[in-house]
Structure 1
Amino acid sequence: MKAGIFKPLKERSFRSLFGAQVFSDLGNWLDFLAIQVIVAYQWGLDETAIAAVIVVIGLPWVIVGPFASVFVDRLPKKHVMITCLILRIVFVAGLFFAPNLYILLLFVFLKGTVAAIYDPARQSAIRHTVSEEQLPEAVTLSQLSMNTMKIVGPALGGGIIAFFGARSPFIVEMVGFMIAILFLLKLPVLHETEEHNDKESAKKQKYWGELLGGFRHISKTPLLKISVILSAIAFFIIFLYDGLFIFVAQKLGFSEGDFGVLISAVGLGSVVGSLLMGNWTQWKRKPIHFMATAAVFSGFLIILMGMGSMNVIELPPVGWMLGAFFLGLLGSGESVPYGFILQSETPKEMMGRVSAVATSLQTFSMLIAPTAGALLAKWLGVSAVLAGAGSATCLLGIIILLFIVKRMNMQKAATEKQVQA
């Protein structure tokens, strides 16, 4: 089998960056489970406390990430990432010793803040470690790490909690961040000097001008603008029903124990999708087409699940697990091209700002969607929300495809007019 998706790992720089990401991603999912166990089981708090944790996890990406990203673009990426990892170790230690919810939320927020700074630096570093030709594979590997750790992290965290106690994953997480630092210490100095040579010019550049530059770049780059809007709306739709999925699973006949298997099927589909996307990169020619088509098919699957929870369609559990697998597979068909567009349509020197702005828009959608989903579920019912979310996903993909076709026809007509003239 050809190297395919793993080609960028031949580059020493990217290999170090990717190794650090794997352990960083693992840590993120280890403590997500541990925090919920502490809040719900050890302290006996209700759903409001869990909701507060989830909101505080996402908040730094909205209110800190975009503003800090200007400094991320100015500073050496290697040093930024190492500093962030050191601070994350400190803040995870704070989570380990947190005596109550308020102290826990403080350290959750602080850890989320450095994560919101680390990620734009990592996104920017990708562009400095691989060639443009290897960018699709590098982006796919990055997505593969995130998708894989979504499965491995909670499973490993659950095992560690069972054997060593609720707070033990924090220790493993700190060790993981230390290993990530070791990988980054081996990262060669990135060639960023051309971006920072004119220091006097950089000093004269106003902070707000640079910050708004990230927003302006997205608004003035058609392909990037469409992908960011499509991704943000898709995230909103997904998180409308994400918190309700456990109730859908009950209606589909899944027991409490089997629910984890259903979620794992989605995760496995994401991993397989990332592997396929990395080994077949023809999608990079028309990434928006691919994202929109994936949205149409995934929306169709969500509608089927909604109809199943209404007892309109009946399938054995294995059939729904297969549907969940393909839902994860199609999810990679949206997330991987989005990551590629974000990287390929953004200048290296603006990568931090642009990625932080795009992530903040997505995270904002993720924060407001669960509340809207819960209200709609009380009004219309869980099954109706799921079917509606699937219909909205299909419609979104169709609208984007129609927009693309209309634009292509306009360009064709303009070309023909020029030829005739």
Structure 2
Amino acid sequence: MKPGIFKPLKLKPFRSLFGAQLFSDLGNWLDFIALQVIVAYHWGLDETAIASVIIVLGLPWVIIGPFASVFVDRLPKKAVMIVCLLLRIVFVGGLFYAPNLYILLLFVFLKGTVSALYDPARQSAIRMVVPDSMLPEAVTLSQLSVNTMKIAAPALGGGIIAVLGPKSPFLFEAAGFVVSIIFLLFLPSLTSFEESDNRMAETSTVKTSFWKEFSEGIKHIFHAPLLRISIILSSAAFFIIFLYDGLFIFIAKQIGFNEGNFGLLISAVGAGSVAGSLLLGQWTGWNRKPVHLMSSSAILSGTFIVAVGLGGLGFLNFPPLVWIIGACLLGLLGAGESVPYGYVLQSETPKQMMGRVSAAAMSLQTFSMLIAPAAGALLAKQLGASFVMIGAGLATTLLGSTMLMIIWKKSGSFQPIRGKQLDG
């Protein structure tokens, strides 16, 4: 295998950032499993309690992240990340000792808040230390970490819970954050990068400066067509995915999967995501037309989602192996959407605005993810899970087709801005 995808790891600062992300991602997914097990099995609460945990997990990204990211852009990124990790360790301790759902939700919210600050700082740091020529590989490695931990952490978490009890993953999560801090301690100072990118002048009042900088991040998204269309496409895709995500287990039951082999279906999606990330890391020609790849992946994945819905209705009858291969392909196509999006976000955003722009984009995506499950459940009650799945697949294909037509009609409007303003 060519070393293309691993090129950025030759850079010492990126090695530190990537090492920290690996253990941070591991902790995040251990956390997600442990929270659901405690609420559903340990405390015996219902679906409403699980939904409240998921909503509170996402809320800080929507209501706090975009505003707090202004301060993230002002502050030293290394210090912000280390402080956020230290606070996450404290809040994980709160989760471990939480005696009831309300206290648990408080610490879930607090931990989500520092996570919403950590990620923009990490995105900014990547943009500072990785040259433009290595951005596709760096973004792909970052996405590879997320996709790999989605597979590894639930399996590890399940084993830890079986051996040590439902709250034990929190201890491993805290240990993971400690390891992340150690990696960041080896991160060279980013002061020189931050000073060169610092365009903030002294203003008469802090309030004026804050709102000016906050609005600049939003305006940049509207003034960068490639970035704007990528965020819209990504947010819409997230909404559609989470529309049917909670219904997937019911469809799986209808197409012949039981509780014993349902995990294989989910693991296949994760394995496909990892394979897709590796493939895109080795072949980076897509970075010339990233939105074309995102749109094409949406069109193809939509057809797979429709097929699953038709299987739930009994129109398609395949053996489990065929469905598992299809799930793997669905994961691979998912990487075809997430990796190019991450590249566009990094390459089309000036270094000094990275925190604000990434937080604003994440806010829109998280909002889509929060409202979608409720809409999916409501539609499922009215139409049935299979019809929601078919509708979601058709919507995904239509979304990708529409975006491709827009790009082809206005091809001149979607040129990268890297050379014009990224380093200016």
> What is the correspondence of 1:390-409 to structure 2 with a 5 Å cutoff?
390-408=393-411
Equivalent in the alignment of 1:142: 142
CA displacement at 1:314 relative to structure 2: 0.8
Deviations 1:246-296 (A, max 9, x none): 001001100011111100000000000000000000000000111000000
The 10-residue stretch of structure 1 (137-146 or 213-222) with the greater mean CA deviation from structure 2:
213-222
Equivalent in the alignment of 1:328: 331
Distance 1:352 1:61 in 2: 13
> What is the correspondence of 1:178-217 to structure 2 with a 5 Å cutoff?
178-190=178-190, 191-196=193-198, 200=202, 206-217=209-220
Equivalent in the alignment of 1:299: 302
CA contact (8 A) 1:91 1:110 kept: yes
- Secondary structure of 1:315 counterpart: coil
Residue 348 in 1 paired to residue 354 in 2?
Answer: no
Equivalent in the alignment of 2:175: 175
1:258 partner letter = N
- 1:289 aligned residue (289, 292, 305): 292
Distance 2:202 2:236 in 1: 40
Deviations 1:166-186 (A, max 9, x none): 111010111100000000000
CA displacement at 1:107 relative to structure 2: 0.3
Deviations 1:212-240 (A, max 9, x none): 11111101110000000000100000010
2:382 partner letter = W
CA contact (8 A) 1:58 1:367 kept: yes
Equivalent in the alignment of 1:417: none
2:195 partner letter = T
CA displacement at 1:408 relative to structure 2: 3.4
CA contact (8 A) 2:68 2:117 kept: yes
CA contact (8 A) 1:72 1:80 kept: yes
Deviations 1:102-161 (A, max 9, x none): 000000000000000000000010011111000000000000000000111111000000
Equivalent in the alignment of 2:244: 241
CA displacement at 1:410 relative to structure 2: 9.5
CA displacement at 1:198 relative to structure 2: 5.8
CA displacement at 1:404 relative to structure 2: 1.4
Distance 2:204 2:34 in 1: 43
Distance 1:184 1:31 in 2: 21
RMSD: 1.4
CA contact (8 A) 2:203 2:209 kept: no
- 1:366 aligned residue (366, 369, 377): 369
Equivalent in the alignment of 1:78: 78
Structure 1 stretches of 4+ moved >2 Å:
195-205, 408-411
Distance 2:352 2:51 in 1: 37
Distance 1:409 1:79 in 2: 41
CA contact (8 A) 2:198 2:352 kept: no
Distance 2:412 2:30 in 1: 49
- Secondary structure of 1:239 counterpart: helix
CA displacement at 1:196 relative to structure 2: 3.3
Distance 1:237 1:321 in 2: 21
Per the normalisation by structure 1, the TM-score is 0.96
- Secondary structure of 2:260 counterpart: helix
Residue 263 in 1 paired to residue 269 in 2?
Answer: no
Matched residue count: 411
- Secondary structure of 1:256 counterpart: coil
2:273 partner letter = S
Using a 3 Å threshold, how does the CA distance of structure 1 residues 407 and 313 change in structure 2: closer, same or farther? Answer: same
Residue 12 in 1 paired to residue 12 in 2?
Answer: yes
Distance 1:322 1:118 in 2: 36
Distance 1:284 1:58 in 2: 30
CA contact (8 A) 1:196 1:202 kept: no
1:163 partner letter = V
CA contact (8 A) 2:151 2:270 kept: yes
Percent of counterpart pairs with the same letter?
67
2:258 partner letter = S
Using a 3 Å threshold, how does the CA distance of structure 1 residues 409 and 101 change in structure 2: closer, same or farther? Answer: closer
Distance 2:29 2:175 in 1: 14
Deviations 1:82-113 (A, max 9, x none): 00000000000000000000000000000000
CA displacement at 1:202 relative to structure 2: 9.6
1:41 partner letter = Y
Distance 1:91 1:182 in 2: 19
